[in-house]
Amino acid sequence: MGIRVAIMGATGAVGQEFLSLLQERRFPIAELRLLASKRSAGKTMRFGEEHITVQELTHGSFEGIDLVLASAGGSLSKEFAPSAVKAGAVVVDNTSYFRMHPDVPLVIPEINPEDIRLHKGIIANPNCSTIIMCLPLFPLHKRYGIRRVSVATYQAASGAGAVAMQELMDETQARIEGRDFARSVIPHPYAFNLFPHNSPMTDNGYCEEELKMVKETRRIFHDDTLRITATCVRVPVLRAHSEAVNVEFEKDPDLAECYEILARAEGVQVLEDRANNRWPMPLDASGKDPVLVGRLRKDISQPNTLDLWMVGDQIRKGAALNAVQIAEKLFP
């Protein structure tokens, strides 16, 4: 028996990725309803051999729907997710709005799938940078026990949506041709530049993106004692986030065993060629499911500490794939 699915924010970058993944993974769909803003209503989108007309998102859009995959922005999830739940659907929400709500499970299926059954109609998808970091770290945490994490991210334009990706391409072309360029999405010069993440700044000097990584990781790992600090940076890469992670463990990690643990870890792939100084790059991860990991090394400045380099596709595992995997466990 098929599942009646609605995609909220169907015309965005993550919404389009939902369509690709549902088809690739042969999710059992009985009906597919594409929802977006009024200005997008009437457009058609391809799903397999079908062309489906996009409908305007309203509070009545969810009648008869079993599953809502939502990626239309936090304010819209706040407004419309309760209507979907009231109509009998389960919402897997890709925005930040519900992530820290005590009644909403925050799930990475490879780490805490048991939390899915605790849902009351809504399940939250973690932040993309959190997912990419947590997937390789959790199996190491189970073996050695993490004390402290210090992470610096190198985040692609995809994290700000399809319009940001297009703006980066347009601005880059303008810079090459020596033309002026008027930005409308990214607040700072982006082509051939980088800048600390432009999410809202908080009173303690951390931006919201950095605090998401701290708070969400603790919640997913079910460990409020984890000490985590993050510096998030936007870089002129189209797709796939990179992260440099320094991890202090309770026990001294054996490097060879760490490689073995990561090689066995679900959703993780070790990619490196030490002889040729070759490590995971955004181009390696773009369009791919696994989080790529390499350049493991002992921190020479203090004991029980490991450095790792990891790269993951922000739109796939960092967003759409994680949500679809949650849906697969909801409707096995």
Residue 128 and residue 313 in contact, taking contact as beta carbons nearer than 8 Å: no
Displacement of CA 246 from its chain's centroid (Å): 20
Distance between CA atoms of 278 and 107, rounded to whole angstroms? 32
232 annotated active-site: no
Distance between CA atoms of 116 and 120, rounded to whole angstroms? 10
Q: Which of 119, 197, 241, 258 is catalytic?
A: 241
Distance between CA atoms of 34 and 57, rounded to whole angstroms? 9
Residue 167 pairs in a beta bridge with none
Q: How many CA atoms lie within 13 A of 258 on its CB side?
A: 25
Q: Hey, what are 108's tokens?
A: 């990475």
Q: How many CA atoms lie within 13 A of 201 on its CB side?
A: 5
Distance between CA atoms of 256 and 258, rounded to whole angstroms? 5
Q: Hey, what are 287's tokens?
A: 């369009």
Distance between CA atoms of 210 and 201, rounded to whole angstroms? 10
* DSSP H helical ranges for 68-223: 74-86, 128-144, 162-176, 208-221
Question: What single-letter amino acid sits at 204?
Answer: N
119 annotated active-site: no
CA distances from 113 to 28, 88, 133, 265 (A): 20, 22, 17, 15
Residue 123 and residue 92 in contact, taking contact as beta carbons nearer than 8 Å: yes
* DSSP H helical ranges for 265-305: 282-285
Q: Which of 119, 128, 197, 258 is catalytic?
A: 128
Listed residue (113, 138, 133) closest to 123, CA to CA: 113
Catalytic residue numbers, as ranges: 128, 241
